[in-house]
């Protein structure tokens, strides 16, 4: 998994057909997805329950590229090795999920995986600077975590801009998760984001039997983001 700052589209399988995950992963990659984003929710840290390590292991053989696993769970540390063994390439934990995020990032790095830090809309950047040298990705939540299909929180664009300045030349991706569409993608791309997670905006109108709309949706988001650079 090499580093570059080109725009990458990471469809969230939270919006996919749950009965056809393998086919959905193959379809979105065939239609131009760069990464596959897996939203893991525990019904405790966030008000929903989704997938666990077994689901990640089941879909891993269907994903040729990057499997980006976003842990919206607390505690995080007891489950890191299981998600690493399940085939995650990037494991992202929330700064709000526990008191020892430095230890959590160490644990992710110790598995040989890329380490990500997620920040909720109500969380500032104060605690990020001391962690930058442990990070491969910072995920700026542009909705409150826990549900798909929410509206983009525009106030987070300035946070992305400040984060971009804080990162400087370090090889750290800035990921946006929440409300990404062809309308909002240019805002965050211009501010410095390079990985755009999109759920309903990618999967709307398509299916595994007719995946062409997935490709059209991915191309629309990518084109809008790249036009802002």
Q: Which helix (H) or strand (E) covers residue 200, if one does? A: helix 200-203
Question: What is the pLDDT at residue 20?
Answer: 97
pLDDT at 148 over 90: no
The Cα 101–Cα 111 span in angstroms is: 16
Question: What is the pLDDT at residue 15?
Answer: 96
- The count of C-alpha atoms lying within 13 angstroms of the C-alpha of 111, restricted to the half-sphere facing its C-beta, is 24
* Contact call for residues 203 and 21 (beta carbons, < 8 A): no
Q: What are the tens digits of pLDDT across the range 50-59?
A: 999 999 999 9
User: Does the active-site annotation cover 177?
Assistant: yes
* Contact call for residues 162 and 201 (beta carbons, < 8 A): no
Pairing of strands 66-72, 90-94: parallel
Q: Which region, left, alpha or beta, applies to residue 32 given φ > 0 means left and ψ of -120 to 50 means alpha? A: left
Q: What are the tens digits of pLDDT across the range 106-142?
A: 999 999 999 999 999 999 999 899 999 999 999 999 9
- Name the catalytic one among 68, 136, 177, 194: 177
- Give the chain's mean pLDDT: 96
pLDDT band, residue 34 (cuts 50/70/90): very high
Q: 89, 41, 39: which is closest to 63 by C-alpha? A: 89
Cβ-based neighbour number of residue 11 at 10 Å: 31
Question: What is the pLDDT at residue 127?
Answer: 82
- Name the catalytic one among 39, 42, 89, 194: 39
Q: What are the tens digits of pLDDT across the range 164-202?
A: 999 999 999 999 999 999 999 999 999 999 999 999 999
Pairing of strands 35-41, 66-72: parallel
* Contact call for residues 160 and 140 (beta carbons, < 8 A): yes
Question: What is the pLDDT at residue 140?
Answer: 98
pLDDT band, residue 65 (cuts 50/70/90): very high
Pairing of strands 66-72, 8-11: unpaired
pLDDT at 147 over 80: no
The Cα 28–Cα 103 span in angstroms is: 34
User: What radius of gyration do the chain's Cα atoms show?
Assistant: 16
Q: What is the DSSP string of 72-131?
A: E-SS-GGGHHHHHHTT-SEEEEEGGG-S-HHHHHHHHHHTT-EEEEEE-TT--STTTGGG
């Amino acid at each position: 998994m090499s580093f570059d700052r080109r725009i990458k589209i990471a469809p969230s399988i939270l919006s996919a057909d749950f009965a056809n995950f393998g086919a959905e992963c193959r379809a979105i990659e065939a239609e131009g997805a760069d990464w596959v984003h897996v939203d893991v929710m525990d019904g405790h840290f966030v008000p929903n329950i989704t997938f666990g390590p077994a689901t990640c292991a089941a879909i891993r053989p269907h994903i040729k590229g990057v499997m980006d696993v976003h842990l919206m769970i607390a505690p995080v540390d007891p489950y890191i090795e299981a998600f690493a063994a399940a085939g995650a390439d990037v494991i992202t934990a929330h700064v709000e999920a526990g008191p020892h995020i430095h230890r959590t990032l160490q644990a992710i790095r110790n598995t040989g995986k890329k380490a990500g830090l997620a920040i909720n809309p109500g969380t500032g950047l104060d605690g990020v600077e001391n962690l930058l040298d442990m990070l491969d990705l910072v995920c700026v939540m542009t909705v409150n975590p826990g549900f798909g299909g929410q509206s983009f929180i525009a106030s987070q664009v300035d946070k992305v801009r400040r984060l971009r300045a804080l990162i400087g030349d370090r090889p750290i991706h800035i990921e946006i998760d929440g409300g990404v569409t062809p309308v909002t993608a240019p805002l965050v791309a211009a501010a410095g984001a390079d990985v755009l997670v999109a759920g309903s905006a990618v999967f709307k109108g398509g299916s595994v039997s007719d995946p062409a709309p997935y490709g059209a949706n991915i191309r629309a988001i990518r084109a809008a983001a790249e036009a802002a650079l």
